[in-house]
Amino acid sequence: MPRAKQEKLDYGRVLGWLREREREMVASAQEMVLRESPSNDKAACDELCAHLAGEFECLGGEVKVHGQPAAGNHLQVNFAGARSQAPILLLGHYDTVYQLGTLNKMRCEERDGRLYGPGIFDMKAGIVQMMFALWALRETAGAPPRPVKVLLVSDEEVGSATSRDITEKLASKCAAVLVCEPSGPGGALKTARKGVGSFTLTVTGKAAHSGLDFEKGHSAILELAHQIQAISRMTDLKRGITLNVGTVRGGTRINVVADEAVAELDLRVASKQHGAQMERRVHKLRPVNPSCKVEIAGGINRPPLERSPQVAALFKLAQQIARELGFRLREVAVGGGSDGNFTAGIGIPTLDGLGAVGDGAHAAHEHIVTAELPRRAALLAGLMQAIQ
């Protein structure tokens, strides 16, 4: 159970040191945004990964690059601690949802105390806060009391297929995981995230001419419509369960009874128990028309991050540190997933939303509040020092 360290960090000194470097933090964030890093562009991701490796190396970290044949490389950085204890993991990603060239229409610019740009909120500013928190600890308190590991992956925005094993293996050796994904509204930390599942329903029917032999055909599209109705009835908002059919495709021509139709759906659940139940229910779907065939692939790919006693204890500790830093901190449960879902799913205490304060993730108005950068980095530094 995390608890406050007896020899407390001088929070005022840490925050003062970071505030003196606010402009450096902004410049570092701008540099990262200008290095575009779409999840599906390995060359661009690897270029940013190499840049970040150099930045963390300058802070005294031992760099390990997990090379990938197709996805961008994943970056691990190890920092020694004053004592030999299980490390703390700082977790995040450097890939974004934006394609190369987005900067031509979505400029990286600062105005009215906000820094705008693709990926700045989700989550390049969070990486800046990691770097400066580690730097602040080194300058104001020497080495962190326990070792710290940093893991920045290149494929979080597309499901973490190549990084999940690395994340879970590294987290399994850690005392706690601090996720620097964007904060919730007003800077809230995320103490619960829904689990995420995805499914593909493929319906096979029988083709026929819609005018000459209509009665001989069996429409895959009509069958899929029945399946979509059944899926929609599974949503249970009171229990936090939602199923969304996001894409539908099928048929070949207007005058042909469709012999194939496909739907892709997204599942969100608040608990592991609900996830297992819903996975079974989706896979039990059967055709209404016995002459059609329904095939279902997929399942839960991110377990929920549930508000366990360990998560609650981490949040309480963060609240204490925030008070010492002069601000109030609240918590929120969200529907979106992160790689923190994986670490929580294997039982490691995980606190999410420690990244930047801002708004507009994945949107044209994506931005951060620049004045919050030092305070959020100070909070992260305080947690690294206080977790026992």
Residues 257, 201, single domain; the answer is yes
**Within a domain: residue 4?**
no
Q: What is the per-residue pLDDT across 11-46, written as a single tens digit (0 to 9) for each? A: 999 999 999 999 999 999 999 999 999 999 999 999
Residue 2 forms part of a structural domain: no
pLDDT given at position 8:
76
Instruction: Determine the Cα–Cα distance for residues 88 and 173; give it in Å rounded to an integer.
Output: 9
In this structure, are 189 and 247 located in the same domain?
Answer: no
Q: Is residue 124 part of a domain?
A: yes
Residue 295 has pLDDT above 90, yes or no: yes
180 and 297 in one domain? no
User: Is residue 5 in some structural domain?
Assistant: no
Average model confidence (pLDDT) across the chain: 96
Q: Do 204 and 268 fall within a single domain?
A: yes
Last residue within a domain, chosen from 245, 276, 302: 302
Residues 6+ apart with CB under 8 A from 165: none
Let me know whether 87 and 118 are in one domain.
Answer: yes
Number of residues in the chain = 388
Contact predicate 143/83, CB 8 Å? no
For the segment 271-297, the average pLDDT, to the nearest whole number, is 97
Name the band, by pLDDT with cuts 50, 70 and 90, for residue 388.
confident
- Give the range of the structural domain holding residue 324, as residue numbers without chain letter: 11-194+304-386
Q: What is the pLDDT of residues 229-268, one digit of tens each?
A: 999 999 999 999 999 999 999 999 999 999 999 999 999 9
The residue from 249, 269, 302 where one domain ends is: 302
CATH of the domain at 249: 3.30.70.360
- Asked whether residue 319 falls in the same domain as residue 360, the answer is yes
Residue 87 within any structural domain of the chain: yes
How confident is the model at residue 202, as a pLDDT?
Answer: 98
Half-sphere exposure of 131 (CA within 13 A, CB side): 24
Region 147-156: mean pLDDT is 98
Residue 7 predicted with pLDDT over 80: no
Average pLDDT (164-186) is: 98
Together in a domain, 128 and 272: no
**Residues 241, 206 within the same domain:** yes
Paired tokens of 197: 């599942």
Which residues, at least 6 apart from 273, have a Cβ–Cβ distance to it below 8 Å? none
pLDDT above 90 for 210: yes
- Judged against a pLDDT cut of 80, whether residue 320 lies above it is answered with yes
User: Do 61 and 181 share a domain, yes or no?
Assistant: yes
Domain assignment present for residue 3? The answer is: no
Q: What phi and psi, each to the nearest 5 degrees, are found at residue 368?
A: -125, 160
Q: What is the pLDDT of residues 64-97, one digit of tens each?
A: 999 999 999 999 999 998 888 999 999 999 999 9
Query: Which residue among 260, 276, 302 closes a domain?
Result: 302
Amino acid 5: pLDDT: 42
Q: Are residues 24 and 106 in the same domain?
A: yes
Tell me, yes or no, whether 19 and 165 share the same domain. Answer: yes
Q: Are 186 and 161 in contact (CB under 8 A)?
A: no
CA distance 91 to 352: 9
Q: What is the mean pLDDT of residues 187-196?
A: 97
Task: Identify whether residues 33 and 181 lie together within a single domain.
Answer: yes
Q: Which two tokens stand for residue 171?
A: 């987290």
The more confidently predicted of residues 363 and 6 is 363
- The CATH number of residue 359's host domain is 3.40.630.10
Residues 6+ apart with CB under 8 A from 16: none
* Residue (of 33, 68, 75) closest to 50 by Cα position: 75
Number of domains in the chain: 2
Beta strands (DSSP E) in 94-153 are 109-111, 114-116, 148-153
Residue 65 domain-assigned (yes or no): yes
